Amino acid sequence: MSMSLQPAGTLVDPNPTPDDKSKKKRSLADGELHVDTVYYSPADVDSYDEYGYFDEISSEDENRGTWTGRPDFILSCIGFSVGLGNVWRFPYLCYSSGGGAFLFPYVFFLVTCALPFFLLETSYGQFVSLSPIASWKVCPLFKGVGYGMVIVSGTVCIYYNIILAWTLFYLFSTMQSTLPWSRCDNSWNTPTCIGPGSPLNETEQEKINGTQSSVEFWEHKVLNRSKGLEDFGSIHWSMFWCLSLTWFVVFLCLCKGIKSSGKVVYVTSTFPYMVMSILLAKCMSLPGASEGLKWYLFPKWEKIASFKVWCDSATQVFFSTGVACGSLSTLASYNKFNHMIFRDAMIVPAVDCFTSVFAGFVIFSVLGFMSHTTAKPVEQVVAQGPGLVFIVYPEAVSKMPISHFWAMLFFLMFYSMGLDSQFGLLETVTSAITDEYPNLLRKRRLPFTAFLCFVAFILGIPMIFE
């Protein structure tokens, strides 16, 4: 075989034979590098022949599938990033870390850290078209990073659905004739229960040592707390069925992978914004709402110098955007190879930041209303985490007109936000294992997804004991 030197310095065969494994694709202009072979996404790594060339270009749609449209991907990313932390963690951090001044370090870390990491993770996932474990074929030494991402996502999947089960329990409770956390005559209430209509600043000793009805509903009815860790108790059957239903909903939405979840997110990703807009319009009209917003937004510039504020803002940025856990690269791996990922990588973190601030307006309007009705300062009613969602807010809506409607709207919104995040987490685990064993699992996606949901459900049962 004779070889000749091209102007660009590339050796090529002037008389390629039909048996030549190198398939010519295109040539650039004179003086540029002559491209003898075009390499494609590492997703088709199994299609390489023994010479390192593609024997046949396989179809992405046939092997893994791709999003049917750009909105599918961007809504899935927004749904994954905008989760429970935007509602129950960001507003509290903003309040405790300097109010409006907290937005300065938050936006700083969003722009300097979250955006580059978000772009890096999604662009890499799109390039390799593989999930976190298989994508490290490019450097097997770091394959443990992929395993770590999948383990983290799987672990979060288990306890995340416990929170959704609590939410579903509250949602079903709103369908009763009277909101159960607004009364003190239930079987789980104690003699020192304080109903929403009772003033919390009474001086009687029994009232000072009393417990709010919303707290008793949370601890004695929802969690059904035992006396201690040594008393494991029995299964909380109401919560068992709520957890079962939640996992069944997750399975239905993911049974066909991105083909099914990509359509569900059109509802689950947009519904929370409609509900938050309605709740904000209602909450802004409540007495005391303006006082709550002052505590939320009034800047305390002296806290900017606090190292803790900067740590909290950085933590919240990574926690909220969901970078470095493998889900973003997994979702991006279903994009077409030439998808404009830079545009989406700018939009999603910006929407996530907007949602956090927007949710803060809703939450602190409610806290201001609580402060007004209980005659307590805002700093004594403010809360974060489960206490905000399952104690403070339920008690607040019980004081509103048509309280059932507002409670149902809120818990529907919260459930929808949690489902979106759960889709991304479970898809990470499913895709990672499927990409490792494509011949075995790719055509058995439905039963494999059902198996993973069942295993996660079983592992979550100890969390619903008393």
Tell me the pLDDT tens digit for each residue of 292-318: 998 888 888 999 999 999 999 999 999
Question: What local confidence, expressed as pLDDT, does residue 12 receive?
Answer: 45
Domain positions in the chain are 65-464
Q: 196 pLDDT exceeds 90?
A: no
Question: What local confidence, expressed as pLDDT, does residue 163 receive?
Answer: 96
Q: What is the mean predicted confidence (pLDDT) over 403-430?
A: 95
Q: Annotation-wise, does 269 bind a ligand?
A: no
Q: Annotation-wise, does 86 bind a ligand?
A: yes
Question: What local confidence, expressed as pLDDT, does residue 20 receive?
Answer: 46
**Residues 121-180 pLDDT 10s:** 999 999 999 999 999 988 999 999 999 999 999 999 999 999 999 999 999 999 998 999
Q: Annotation-wise, does 344 bind a ligand?
A: no
Q: Annotation-wise, does 82 bind a ligand?
A: yes
**Residues 63, 282: contact at Cβ < 8 Å?**
no
**Backbone torsions φ then ψ of 235, nearest 5 degrees:** -65, 135
Distance in angstroms (rounded) separating the CA atoms of residues 84 and 164: 10
Q: What is the mean predicted confidence (pLDDT) over 404-422?
A: 95
Distance in angstroms (rounded) separating the CA atoms of residues 136 and 138: 5
What is the CATH architecture assignment of 65-464?
Orthogonal Bundle (1.10)
Distance in angstroms (rounded) separating the CA atoms of residues 37 and 310: 50
Q: Annotation-wise, does 420 bind a ligand?
A: yes
Strands 4-5 and 11-12: antiparallel
Question: What local confidence, expressed as pLDDT, does residue 199 receive?
Answer: 53
Confidence of residue 209 (pLDDT cuts 50, 70, 90): low
Q: How many Å separate Cα 404 from the centre of its chain?
A: 27
Question: What local confidence, expressed as pLDDT, does residue 208 receive?
Answer: 53
Q: Annotation-wise, does 421 bind a ligand?
A: yes
Q: How many Å separate Cα 63 from the centre of its chain?
A: 27
